[in-house]
Amino acid sequence: MKENNQYPRKKRVILDAALRDMFLNGYDAATIHSVARAMRVNFSEVADYFDSDDFLRISAVHYAAQVWCIQVKNELNLIEDQKEKFSKLVFMFVNGAQNYSHSLRLYVSIWEKLNEKIITDVRVKMLLNKTYNLYQELFYSLFTEWYKADTTYKEKKISSLAWTMVVISDGVFIQQLLNQDKTQIKEIGRIMYEMSLAYIKSEGF
């Protein structure tokens, strides 16, 4: 995974190891012990950063979201045309259901455990919420930058559009679990782009 320099190197190595374990073996597979074994370090070296297995796991999920947001910005910076940028952004949100299905499966596991009260660490719910806010803030910030939007006047409308993209991404993933037709992803992306353009035009952006 690409580096996220917001974290010390050792912490990034721990989080990458936890993610690999979860991607290969499921959400519960990553533990302080399993990560320490994979890194060939003492348990305490991982526990110094993360004091519980659940906090390690959700921290890794949040870290992966941060890396994805950085990757999206870097890819979009290579595109000059505004409409092409926006089209790419919409498709990246929709295609997340296909290209990052292993990550989204982790979210399903977290939702299930929170709903069944298997996870009791309050930091998990807080950091999951913070993770979803990352996606919303990414869309919001890029949209306002490209369209020079008056965020004071239309903040709620832009925020609602951003949250719609986040929700659609999750919804597409759930649909992919039931229907493996990849052509649907491309068509959903096209429809979302056209609907977004119509909404932008109707709101005078």
Q: What SS3 string covers the chain?
A: CCCCCCCCHHHHHHHHHHHHHHHHHCHHHCCHHHHHHHHCCCHHHHHCCCCCHHHHHHHHHHHHHHHHHHHHHHHHCCCCCHHHHHHHHHHHHHHHHHHCHHHHHHHHHHHHHHHCCCCCCHHHHHHHHHHHHHHHHHHHHHHHHHHCCCHHHHHHHHHHHHHHHHHHHHHHHHHHHHCCCCHHHHHHHHHHHHHHHHHHHHCCC
| Choice between 186 and 50, residue whose per-residue pLDDT is larger | 50
Work out the pLDDT band at 102, boundaries 50, 70, 90: low
The whole model's pTM is what?
A: 0.85
Distance CA 58, CA 19 (A): 10
Work out the pLDDT band at 77, boundaries 50, 70, 90: very high
Q: What is the pLDDT of residues 56-74, one digit of tens each?
A: 999 999 999 999 999 999 9
Ranking 61-75, 130-144, 175-189 by mean pLDDT, the lowest is: 175-189
- Quote the pLDDT of residue 2: 53
Q: What is the total residue count of the chain?
A: 205
- Quote the pLDDT of residue 62: 93
| Choice between 100 and 186, residue whose per-residue pLDDT is larger | 186
Average pLDDT over residues 86-111: 76
Average pLDDT over residues 171-175: 76
Percentage of the residues of the chain whose pLDDT score is greater than 70: 87
Whether residue 99 is predicted with pLDDT greater than 70 in this model: the reply is: no
Whether residue 177 is predicted with pLDDT greater than 70 in this model: the reply is: no
- Quote the pLDDT of residue 61: 92
